[in-house]
Structure 1
Amino acid sequence: MQDIELRTRLDQYYGQIKSVILDKQHPISGLLPASTAVTVHGNYQDAWVRDNVYSILAVWGLALAYRNLDDDGGRGFELQQRTVKLMRALLRSMMAQSAKVEKFKRTRQPIDALHAKYDTATGDSVVGDDEWGHLQIDATSVFLLTLAQMIASGLEIIWTDEEVCFIQNLVYYIERAYRTPDFGIWERGAKSNSGNVELNASSLGMAKAALESLSGFNLFGAKGSRSSVIHVIPDNIAQSNITLTSMLPRESNTKETDAALLSIVGFPAFAVDDPDLANKVRNDIIDKLEGNYGLKRFLRDGHQTALEDEGRLHYEEQELKQFEHIESEWPLFYTYLYLDAIFRDDTPQINHYRTRLDAVLVEQNGQKLLPELYFVAEDCVEQERLEPGSQKRIPNDNVPLVWAQSLYLLGCLLEDDLLRPGDLDPLGRRHHKIPKKPVVQLMFLAEDEALQQELEAYGVQTQTIEDISPVQVYRPEDIASIHAQIGKCEELGLSGRIPRKLKSLTTSRVYMMGKKQAICLTASFIQKDFS
């Protein structure tokens, strides 16, 4: 009887997800449009990388939920393969731009970035390198993070050595996010919409999460070998964490805060290790950006307001004040807060945001859907400015925003106990463990026996290379040269990591070179390189 009840509930979700998401998935390419809408604000029928990843999460979640049935009629397998098809479609589109990945590793210039969106039917480019804010590190990072989580859940997404090499190069693509300004999640860069890149905490946090998740991760899952393991330089993770912590609770130099930060303090990134800092970021966002219909993206955001000039791409700095208090409100961010409350097991907040979400659903063809945003009508602008929150807002024509609908359905699956948080986070990122006190071990290595005896006369115990055999000793440049070979793929025109001086966390590791252990000298042992 319980099995019948579970099947009925899952089949109800299947019907919703099929009509809202699966029926929009292109039968050949496997990609999803951000929406089927074509409005004065743009053509949403292209396949954005970020939107595709978030939009397929509900499909993946339902596939995991169907595993609880002994016989699901094949639906669990179909949903699983639909997920694999989309992720591999994104992989194919990005691999077709391997030359850009290779070039970007050296230049770090926006013009050389991977494209942020592709043609839904073919997976090919739809706009030129200089016609869009393509450098969006968070989009590439959320793809990598989700890839790792899905593989950890049992999906087989990566199939060949060439694909492993490409993912390794995507790690190199995002590894210096802590010092790579980008256009950010809103594809616009600085708040003034001037088209200038800046360092964004939401991009950096997502990159940190991806690097942590992929460090030592086997892309072939349980069937893989050492050749399919991804390597991440530990110093890049540490530097990302230091920079992120120093930036928060700000999003960037021009943005005091941004609703996009919800994606890194909670699901899916869980990138902020300090719970007090995560709470501060969350509370700042709620206090400054939450409204009756959703959250503003950031303060003085003119996008799709009644006063926005559709014929202009950029604003002057002094013009931004006209958007104060009338910024569009996005139900999308209620879904982040809803999921965040579920992962934190905060029942009052779960009920609060579920109620708010249900209140902003728009009914179309018998379905309740989330619009992209709500805006203030032009004739209500002055009254809204005088009394913020007093005027009724109108949903825009982009219904549903598939990304938002997917996260909403994912939250419903969790709240209805059809999924557990651990199903969506098999890597356990939601658990922030208290770091243990580091144990520092030093080994003094003498160049030869003569120096060893001389140092021993002064009470300094050392070892020689012969003493520690068969452990091998490498110089930092040797390790850097080896890293430069990891991810190398002639078929894709990809080299390995760009050689750079290695920092202390990378030299302070025990390596396995084949079947032998190896250690690396620190820079302090090499006088000509140490300053």
Structure 2
Amino acid sequence: MGGKKKPSEAPENKECYIVIFYSAALEALDELDLFGVKGGPQSVIHVLADEVQHCQSILNSILPRASTSKEVDASLLSVISFPAFAVEDSQLVELTKQEIITKLQGRYGCCRFLRDGYKTPKEDPSRLYYEPSELKLFENIECEWPLFWTYFILDGVFGGNAEQVQEYREALEAVLIKGKNGVPLLPELYSVPPDKVDEEYQNPHTVDRVPMGKLPHMWGQSLYILGSLMAEGFLAPGEIDPLNRRFSTVPKPDVVVQVSILAETEEIKAILKDKGIDVETIAEVYPIRVQPACILSHIYSSLGCNSRMKLSGRPYRHMGVLGTSKLYDIRKTIFTFTPQFIDQQQFYLALDNKMIVEMLRTDLSYLCSRWRMTGQPTITFPISHTMISSNFLFSICPVTVRIQTGKLSEFLTTSCCTHLSFMDPGPEGKLYSEDYDDNYNELESGDWMNGYGSTSNGKKVPSVRVEIHLPRDQSGELDFKALVLQLKETSSLQEQADILYMLYTMKGPDWDTELYDEESATVQELLTELYGKVGEIRHWGLIRYISGILRKKVEALDEACTALLSHQKHLTVGLPPEPREKTISEIMVYLAMYMRTQPGLFAEMFRLRIGLIIQVMATELAHSLRCSAEEATDSLMNLSPSAMKNLLHHILSGKEFGVERSVRPTDSNVSPAISIHEIGAVGATKTERTGIMQLKSEIKQMTFAFYSFLSSSPKSPGPSVAPSIGSFPSAYGQQTSKDRQGQWQRRRRLDGALNRVPVGFYQKVWKVLQKCHGLSVEGFVLPSSTTREMTPGEIKFSVHVESVLNRVPQPEYRQLLVEAILVLTMMADIEIHSIGSIIAVEKIVHIANDLFLQEQKTLGADDTMLAKDPASGICTLLYDSAPSGRFGTMTYLSKAAATYVQEFLPHSICAMQ
């Protein structure tokens, strides 16, 4: 028996380690000919760099944890050091190593992981799985494995750390057992004797243990011999690591991204030349061939294809930026491929030039941080008419990475070039499907670069949906012929879209409207035609609406979901009505883009509630633009993709921002011009962005102040003790300006929608659960038994706590509950055996609300100022109070918590002062 033997966890743990070693194995296998000198093009392994980096991102996101159910595992030593050397970040390697030493190391070796019951005296070997509640029994008596010290010896040898090598060799010598002829043997593990379990529980790492298991343990014995040979100079690191993977943490030289700008036509080339930019056309770069990324996907889909063995080949997948930033030698012809995001014919993101710029910047940043191949990355970027008309090139300039522009021919010697040998002439060596023409300019989708062409001066469309008069026949049924006639006569694109939507749902997409006499005009065809019209004028609300009807899918949606899930982020999507569904797809793509380039934005977030994020975005627009919720939703739907992505970034960053109507022209003739900008530091700084983080430096003082609350009358509405005393007569007076009003309520709403909590919050909740029977949040109980099943650092525990908090629908109320729990965590730090049975957190919040209302009324506040939120019953002014200060939420929550749990506290504490 080994591991946390709960059936639901075994597959998850195995998959984690498969991914970890898969990353290292992919890099080692690239370009390997399985048959050596007897091989050929069909026996060479080709590895895509994007797949390697995807594994790297998973690894970097989970370390120093081993999986969602293990906060640390000693087997990670084989990942961060010999033999995998899979991690490139030296700080992450050191952090993981220190976590293992701090939490797992003992006198005889290292535990495999916390609460490992394998071969402990408390284990029942007759059962296949442990019960979740019995895992607590194995705490502090886990068996210690000398095997892991051999990894530390090898790590010291490869890292040149002679002191570490000496330390662990001496430690290992003390636990070796002499065999026949005096040969030192390494036992499998050391276990606590059954009669000394209670003593070990009380004083961990003090009891003398006994060797158990196999002797010698062949795995550990072999590594011990290898470490001894290397430490004594009989073997060199290069002999054991011929691929030099041990240098993975050595800093790499700066990456310079080579960008070759190509003009779609001679006309565009002339325009660019007038602006001082000398470029080539796509035809002029011959013999280098330029193709879209989808062609490269089709090429790789033939990899491994063998009809005789009935192998279909690699599945068709979109190419990542690392794959399209190389040159390819295919049948003695050099090919270059444009970025994948320009191929997004099926979705409307590529219609927004600013969005193309954002995606290009994201790719440039990703290349600089992830490029590990020989040579420099080369991006081939075509310029279309729409990009020229909107000053596209000038908006690319403010990038923070090193780029070099030039002609493709100048980059041939400095670029990374890959020979696709599997495409060499042979029985199955086709270049790509016959569906694709060889000539770039004659591709079936010839306008793949510029979407729907130049921005025209089409008629403006009202952004607010109009009411449609539905014609009826004599029987009262809907008259479809009259409805089609109404469709033909109306000049409003919005009304046309609504009519076509009704026809689509009631008659189906293939119903012929007979709108045109000479040819068919199905509902599907008319919607596609209308989609082109609204695309030309950039009416984003209608674009999203029709895209939803046509069920257009974001081409990178599956990759976006994979990126979020692989970073241990749970997604809650929901099923909103059209066209909200398309907005959800957009938001998921934007979240994935930020996850790749700015993963720090998602710290301490484990579940992303997409629908609630969209709701908060609309609320922010309503607050900033001073409009109704319906108008704000329409404004959100009419935002360009780049503006929506910018709004999402400001919400994720936690910084104060403002939204206002802009007088500057936009690409759209009809969508509202909205400007989103960051506001200076008027409230909390970045480190205080959760609202309660500004109390970080006051936690110790608050613990002492807690005693003060107990010594005074807890139910007294007076300002007995507070971290700081304000100079204004009421909480309302603390709002220094109209701009500050609503600031803290907005912050709590944003943090609640994003599930943002202070760093270390979930570990503190675990400590609280050890001193009570459970926490109740709106009727949902988080029992104290959870601490017997999970350790404080497990991702699974954090997700479990978060799921309980997420049952609260109002984001700002949820965040106030988080603050109340934070007060309880401060109380748990006091030397008290118990702080209650099942603590109802919402009751503490409501007691604090009552104390706040009483004090405000005594200071002259009227009922209008003290209006309550009808959903939660909490005063809106309390929502808008800063955490600290005389009228701060933490002041009242501390008093409320003291009142609620006072009966469980020792009288000596209550009598202090």
Indicate whether 1:393 and 2:202 are aligned: no
Residue aligning to 1:230:
45
Deviations 1:466-494 (A, max 9, x none): 21111122332221222222233456554
Which residue, 282, 288, 299 being the options, matches 2:97? 282
Which residue, 155, 180, 184 being the options, matches 1:365? 180
Deviations 1:374-429 (A, max 9, x none): 11121111111111122222222322221111111111111221100110111111
Residue aligning to 1:346:
161
Q: Please list, as runs of the form range in 1=range in 2, the aligned pairs for 1:431-446 lying within 5 A after superposition.
A: 431=247, 432-446=249-263
Q: 2:114, 2:26 → 1: CA distance?
A: 30
Aligned-partner SS, 1:241: helix
The structural deviation recorded for 1:525 is 3.1
Residue aligning to 2:331:
514
- Write the letter of the residue equivalent to 1:336: Y
Residue aligning to 2:219:
403
Aligned-partner SS, 1:388: coil
The structural deviation recorded for 1:321 is 0.7
Residue aligning to 2:170:
355
Which residue, 292, 297, 321 being the options, matches 1:480? 297
The structural deviation recorded for 1:276 is 1.8
| Contact preservation (8 Å) 1:195, 1:314 | no
- Write the letter of the residue equivalent to 1:419: L
Q: Please list, as runs of the form range in 1=range in 2, the aligned pairs for 1:326-337 lying within 5 A after superposition.
A: 326-337=141-152
Indicate whether 1:466 and 2:466 are aligned: no
Q: 2:267, 2:240 → 1: CA distance?
A: 59
Check 1:195–1:379 CA distance in 2 against 1; reply closer, same or farther (3 A cut): same
Deviations 1:225-250 (A, max 9, x none): 65544211111122222222221111
Q: 1:219, 1:417 → 2: CA distance?
A: 33
The structural deviation recorded for 1:194 is 4.0
Deviations 1:308-360 (A, max 9, x none): 11122222322111001110111111111111111112222111211222222
Q: 1:490, 1:401 → 2: CA distance?
A: 47
Aligned-partner SS, 2:281: coil
Q: 1:238, 1:488 → 2: CA distance?
A: 25
- Write the letter of the residue equivalent to 2:232: D
Aligned length in residues: 345
Q: 2:8, 2:211 → 1: CA distance?
A: 27
Q: 1:276, 1:221 → 2: CA distance?
A: 38
Q: Please list, as runs of the form range in 1=range in 2, the aligned pairs for 1:99-498 lying within 5 A after superposition.
A: 192=6, 194-198=8-12, 202-219=17-34, 227-366=42-181, 367-431=183-247, 432-453=249-270, 456=273, 461-490=278-307, 493-498=310-315
- Write the letter of the residue equivalent to 2:296: I
- Write the letter of the residue equivalent to 1:412: S
Residue aligning to 1:90:
none
Aligned-partner SS, 2:101: helix
Check 1:529–1:433 CA distance in 2 against 1; reply closer, same or farther (3 A cut): farther
Check 1:408–1:273 CA distance in 2 against 1; reply closer, same or farther (3 A cut): same
Aligned-partner SS, 1:198: helix
| Contact preservation (8 Å) 1:208, 1:237 | yes
| Contact preservation (8 Å) 1:202, 1:260 | no
Q: Which has the larger radius of gyration?
A: 2
Considering Cα pairs closer than 8 Å and 6+ residues apart, tell me whether 1 or 2 has the greater RCO.
Answer: 1
Q: 2:103, 2:9 → 1: CA distance?
A: 25
Aligned residues with identical type, % of pairs: 41
Aligned-partner SS, 1:443: strand
Deviations 1:281-330 (A, max 9, x none): 11110111111111100011111111111122222322111001110111
The structural deviation recorded for 1:435 is 2.2
- Write the letter of the residue equivalent to 1:397: G
Q: 1:232, 1:411 → 2: CA distance?
A: 32
What TM-score, normalized by structure 1, do the two folds share?
A: 0.60
Q: 1:191, 1:455 → 2: CA distance?
A: 66
| Contact preservation (8 Å) 1:191, 1:254 | no
- Write the letter of the residue equivalent to 2:161: D
Deviations 1:496-518 (A, max 9, x none): 32211112111121111022211
Q: 1:443, 1:236 → 2: CA distance?
A: 25
| Contact preservation (8 Å) 1:191, 1:301 | no
| Contact preservation (8 Å) 2:272, 2:278 | yes
| Contact preservation (8 Å) 1:304, 1:328 | yes
Moved more, 306-315 or 402-411: 306-315
Residue aligning to 1:120:
none
- Write the letter of the residue equivalent to 1:331: P
Q: 2:111, 2:261 → 1: CA distance?
A: 57
Aligned-partner SS, 2:294: helix
What TM-score, normalized by structure 2, do the two folds share?
A: 0.36
Q: 2:310, 2:214 → 1: CA distance?
A: 40
Q: 2:68, 2:170 → 1: CA distance?
A: 34
Q: 2:275, 2:154 → 1: CA distance?
A: 62
| Contact preservation (8 Å) 2:34, 2:43 | yes
Q: 1:499, 1:429 → 2: CA distance?
A: 31
The structural deviation recorded for 1:219 is 4.3
- Write the letter of the residue equivalent to 2:241: D
Q: 1:230, 1:265 → 2: CA distance?
A: 25
Residue aligning to 2:864:
none
Check 1:517–1:322 CA distance in 2 against 1; reply closer, same or farther (3 A cut): same
Aligned-partner SS, 1:518: strand
Give the root-mean-square deviation of aligned CA atoms: 2.5
- Write the letter of the residue equivalent to 1:266: S
| Contact preservation (8 Å) 2:9, 2:69 | no
| Contact preservation (8 Å) 2:5, 2:129 | no
Check 1:274–1:418 CA distance in 2 against 1; reply closer, same or farther (3 A cut): same
Check 1:371–1:211 CA distance in 2 against 1; reply closer, same or farther (3 A cut): same
Q: 1:345, 1:434 → 2: CA distance?
A: 17
What stretches of structure 2 of length at least 5 have no aligned partner? 350-913
Q: 1:481, 1:443 → 2: CA distance?
A: 23
- Write the letter of the residue equivalent to 1:508: S
What stretches of structure 1 of length at least 5 have no aligned partner? 1-40, 42-185
Deviations 1:93-114 (A, max 9, x none): xxxxxxxxxxxxxxxxxxxxxx
Deviations 1:69-100 (A, max 9, x none): xxxxxxxxxxxxxxxxxxxxxxxxxxxxxxxx
